[in-house]
Amino acid sequence: MKPKVAFYWCASCGGCEEAVLDLAEAVLDVAAAVDIVFWPVALDFKEADVAGMDDGAIAISFVNGAVRTSHQLEMARLLRRKSKLVVAFGACAQLGGIPGLANLTTASGVLDEVYRDMAVPLREIREDGATLTLPELFDAVFALDRAIPVDYYVPGCPPSPKVVADAFQALLRDPPPEPGTVLAPNQAMCDECPRRDRRPEDVKLARFYGVEERAIDPADCILAQGFPCLGPATRAGCGARCIKGNMPCTGCFGPTSAVRDYGAKALCSIASIVSGNEVEEIDGTLDGIADPVGTFYRYSLPASFLGGQAGNLPHGRQ
């Protein structure tokens, strides 16, 4: 009997679904090895089908996207009940992701920003005797493991084909990896960066540049050129794809296992290589980082020490 597998998306952009498809021909091997019982983007199974299964009937559920609404919470809990293993797939599920930057405000703050001067959307509509409801928008965005216990994480925004393929292999292996493992190499991205040897031993920056400010030399270390490349702080596994695209790393694979708060550590390290000993000089250099939260916590604000919300979501099985 082929193991049953589910894919689900919470607050997500669809990129992680594409990441699975990015396996290209390999996706056929996956389809052959497993029995996909739920995948809203691709297959027509309903929530009721999942609810009707036995608890633990699904071998692995891959859940991507952050938890932002009551419905997403409900689905996360449903899949947790029905699955032996739940894998947080992608940066949003692992760390809260880009949607997590909304944690700088509240639900009403978000709605005001987007739909200024309009009332909060209707929560309920009746039509033809049927009732349609909108789920509750939580005041904060949560990473998946704040909603349900998570067994493994597949990092990346989205995870790279290699990481996805390796993750599948790892999960189907016996014995499986240690619970809680992030299924990607445990070094920072410099390990696989083609420009690593171009980084001088002593990088001291007097100025930071935004990518829109000046051209990036395609051969030299991007950080050494004054762009805040977070490669040294970010887990490897992506094959340095952004660097190969001549763009600085923005940190979507999250931290190594030695770091608890990604943004704090990345910030700490970048600040350490600022040149200058006087406050005015230092401040002048730091002016080049106009948006610290966006730079350092682009993908991980909900998972950070200060950027999530406790209390509203009890962590546990339903």
92 in contact with another protein (CB under 8 A): no
241 in contact with another protein (CB under 8 A): no
- The residues near 212 (Cβ < 8 Å, ≥ 6 apart) are none
Q: Which of 232, 240, 250, 253 lies at the binding interface for another protein (CB under 8 A)?
A: 232
318 in contact with another protein (CB under 8 A): no
- The residues near 44 (Cβ < 8 Å, ≥ 6 apart) are none
Site string for another protein, 285-304 (x = CB under 8 A): -x--x-xxx--x-----xxx
Binding residues among 143-172 for another protein as defined by CB under 8 A: 146
C-beta of 299: minimal distance to another protein in Å? 15
Total residues at the site for another protein (CB under 8 A)?
65
Whether 144 and 90 have beta carbons less than 8 Å apart is answered as: no
Q: Which of 106, 107, 162, 209 lies at the binding interface for another protein (CB under 8 A)?
A: 106
Q: Which residues pair with 274 in a beta bridge?
A: 205
274 in contact with another protein (CB under 8 A): yes
Site string for another protein, 23-52 (x = CB under 8 A): ------------------------------
174 in contact with another protein (CB under 8 A): no
Q: How many degrees, rounded to 5, is the angle at CA 244 between CA 241 and CA 245?
A: 90
Backbone angles phi, psi at 176, to 5 degrees: -75, 170
261 in contact with another protein (CB under 8 A): yes
Strands 35-38 and 58-64: unpaired
Amino acid at 200: P
SS3 196: helix
Residue 6 and residue 315: Cα distance in Å, rounded?
A: 22
267 in contact with another protein (CB under 8 A): yes
C-beta of 307: minimal distance to another protein in Å? 6
Q: Which segment (26-34, 120-128, 158-166, 228-236) binds another protein by CB under 8 A?
A: 228-236
Whether 253 and 234 have beta carbons less than 8 Å apart is answered as: yes
104 in contact with another protein (CB under 8 A): yes
One-letter-per-residue 3-state SS of 109-170: HHHHHHCCCCCCCCCEEEECCEEEECCCEEEEEECHHHCCCCCEEECCCCCCHHHHHHHHHH
Please name the residue that has the structure tokens 């559920």: 61
Backbone angles phi, psi at 4, to 5 degrees: -85, 140
309 in contact with another protein (CB under 8 A): yes
Q: Which of 121, 305, 314, 317 lies at the binding interface for another protein (CB under 8 A)?
A: 305
Which residues contact another protein by CB under 8 A?
103-106, 139, 146, 186-191, 196, 199, 201-204, 230-236, 255-261, 263-274, 276-277, 279, 282-283, 286, 289, 291-293, 296, 302-311
